[in-house]
Amino acid sequence: MTTSDIAPPKAFVWVWLPGHTVPVVAGVIQAVDSELVFAYGQSYLARADAIPLQPDTDHANGLPLVDGAQRPPDGLDAHGVIRDAAPDSWGQQVILRRRLGRGAGDTGDLPLLTYLLESGSNRIGALDVQARPDVYVARNNHGTLEELVEAGDRLTRGLAFSPELDDALTYGSSVGGARPKALLADGSREFIAKFSVSTDVFPWMQAEAIGMELARRCGVNTAPTRLTRAAGRDVLLVERFDRPGAGTRRLVLSALSLLGLHEQAARHATYTDLVDLIRLRFRSPSATLEEMFRRIVVSVVIGNTDDHARNHAAFWDGASLELTPAFDLCPQPRSTGEAFLAMAYGRSGQRQARLTSCIEAAGTYGLSTNQATEIVDHCVTVVRDAYDAACTDLGITDAARDRLWQREILHPSIFYRG
């Protein structure tokens, strides 16, 4: 199979505008060399309620409402809002397997436009990518939770599964991340279902369930979650915050896109750059900065070192940005004494998972030392006092509870000084 067999020349971007229940065509993306170039449609530009799909920031050009082709910012192969609509590692593996068979291994064998066109339509945010500009055809096929768990586990182990499961997994995998997950509908509520698999040696779903619950008890605005089991596996259900109801959708932009960074340059993303953006472009900047500081402290306390820029996001309504509820707050396995967050939270590049260092950086977030100390003390006290009860409430096993305590959660190193 050649590249020309698998690389469509163009596709059309549809968008659910704020408050609308049906999508409209916003524009076209075309593959030009190694880039996806976007141009708004004339019918969209003529709309009185049209909004730019991505705002300009100090870090990257967005997609202003202008006529003509718009290349991605330097260093990117697609505009951030387009890339955010594509599946990441796990979803790409699902599509790669569907297109090239069980022997396929390199997700780079398919172009980004193929992943955009072949992933499900119920993707995160308010965009979809279609082959036609005149007729909208949703690519949805929601399997049962048991079917999705079974298919995800079989794909991870390189085993075959039925075409029906293939459809359910493919069209439910238009979400980011490296671990198995799919989209799930339960009446009017929609969820991201995250699966454990037979090869796991770390209790990932239980760890994330307790991490999210402890964050919630510490006062972080988190997406609602529920730990359950299906097909003999742990499953974490994360309620979607981009679906406010009545068929409407909310545009969501990752912090990585707002900072104008490619996946391969994600290590350059920092909380401090995000702070500057919050002050300039976000709704309620003071409250948002305090929320961001609390999330950093909670990540230190629970051992979440996977706090990279795709795990932070904002709603965009065409006028202002607003921080989404927190998601993917998961204690990470530790093999060393001291840990480091994925993004620097201090102006001098501090990333150490230390509470004293967080307090020292408080001014960056508009907080006094006393205010920061109160937040830190509150979070530590809540986690220490509520841990056992929270584990019991969630159904965390004794083995997972003991495994996480003071190894990932409240590890002694977070209290180091200096």
* pLDDT one-digit tens code per residue, 137-148: 998 766 677 767
Convert the pLDDT of each residue in 181-190 to its tens digit: 888 887 778 9
Q: In the prediction, which pLDDT does 336 show?
A: 74
Residues forming a β-bridge with 340: 352
How far is the C-alpha of 392 from the C-alpha of 395, rounded, in Å?
Answer: 5
For all residues of the chain together, what is the average pLDDT? 90
Residue 32 clears pLDDT 70, i.e. is over it? yes
Contacts (Cβ under 8 Å, ≥6 apart) of 33? none
* Share of residues in the chain with pLDDT > 70 (%): 89
**What confidence category does residue 153 fall into, taking pLDDT thresholds of 50, 70 and 90?**
confident
Question: Any idea what DSSP says for residue 364?
Answer: G
Q: Are residues 405 and 283 in the same domain?
A: yes
For the stretch 186-218, pLDDT in tens is 777 899 888 888 888 999 999 999 999 999 999
Please report where in the chains the tokens 């006529």 appear, as a residue. Answer: 67
Residue 232 and residue 260 in one domain: no
Q: Taking 60 as the threshold, does the pLDDT of residue 164 lie above it?
A: no
- Low-confidence winner among 153-167, 208-222, 272-286 (lowest mean pLDDT): 153-167
Q: State whether 102 and 184 are in the same domain.
A: no
Q: Are residues 400 and 328 located together in one domain of the fold?
A: yes
Residue 135 lies in a domain: no
pLDDT at 89 exceeding the cut of 90: no
Q: Are 241 and 15 in contact (CB under 8 A)?
A: no
**CB contact set of 210 (below 8 Å; sequence gap of 6+):** 302, 331, 387, 390, 391, 394, 396, 400, 401, 404, 409
Whether the pLDDT of residue 268 is over 80: the answer is yes
Q: How confident is the model at residue 4 (pLDDT cuts 50, 70, 90)?
A: very low
Task: With beta carbons less than 8 A apart as the criterion, state whether 274 and 292 touch.
Answer: yes
The reported pLDDT for the residue numbered 143 is 65
Domain shared by 208 and 111, yes or no: no
- At 73 the pLDDT is 93
Q: Is 213 helix (H, G, I), strand (E, B) or coil?
A: helix
pLDDT confidence of residue 62: 97
- Strands 181-186, 127-130: pairing is unpaired
Which residue range(s) make up the domain with 192? 145-239
Burial of 114 by CB count in 10 Å (0-12 exposed, 13-18 middle, 19+ buried)?
buried
Between 229 and 4, the more confident residue is 229
When pLDDT is averaged across residues 362-381 and rounded to a whole number, the result is 98
- Return the residue matching tokens 């995800």: 152
Contacts of 37 (CB under 8 A, 6+ apart): 29, 30, 31, 69, 70, 71, 72
Q: What is the pLDDT of residue 187?
A: 75
Q: Report how far residue 213's alpha carbon sits from residue 222's, in angstroms, rounded to the nearest whole number.
A: 8
Each residue's pLDDT tens digit, 243-261: 999 999 999 999 999 999 9
- Same structural domain, 107 and 166: no
Beta-carbon neighbour count of residue 221 at 10 Å? Answer: 14
Do residues 304 and 280 share a domain?
Answer: yes
User: Of the given ranges (94-103, 192-201, 323-332), which has the lowest mean pLDDT?
Assistant: 94-103
| Residue 85, domain member (yes or no) | no
What is residue 8's predicted lDDT score, i.e. its pLDDT? Answer: 73
167 and 205 part of one domain: yes
Partners of 190 in beta bridges: 185
What per-residue confidence (pLDDT) applies to 332? Answer: 96
Confidence of residue 172 (pLDDT cuts 50, 70, 90): low
pTM more than 0.85: yes
Residue 290, domain member (yes or no): yes
What CATH code is carried by the domain that includes residue 334?
A: 1.10.1070
Q: Is residue 246 part of a domain?
A: no
Q: Are residues 37 and 67 in the same domain?
A: yes
**Which DSSP category does 210 fall into?**
H
Are 161 and 43 part of one and the same domain?
no
CA angle (345 as vertex; 273, 373 as ends), nearest 5: 130
For 388-401, what is the mean pLDDT?
98
- Say if 102 falls within a structural domain: yes
Q: In 3D, which of 211, 178, 194 has the Cα closest to residue 330?
A: 211
Asked whether residue 136 is assigned to any structural domain, the reply reads no
Cβ-proximal residues to 153 (8 Å cutoff; 6+ apart), any chain: 180, 195, 197, 198, 231, 233
- Structure token digits, residue 305: 């070192």
Question: What integer is the mean pLDDT of 310-336?
Answer: 95
Q: What is the pLDDT, as a whole number, of residue 24?
A: 98
222 in the same domain as 301: no
Same-domain status, 359 and 395: yes
Q: How much is the pLDDT for 286?
A: 98
Q: Please state the rounded mean pLDDT for residues 111-128.
A: 92
The total number of structural domains that make up the chain: 3
> Which of the 8 DSSP states describes residue 248?
B
User: What CATH number is associated with residue 151?
Assistant: 3.30.200.120
- Please give the pLDDT value at position 418: 66
pLDDT at 1: 42
Q: Which of 17-21, 172-176, 272-276, 339-343 has the lowest mean pLDDT?
A: 172-176
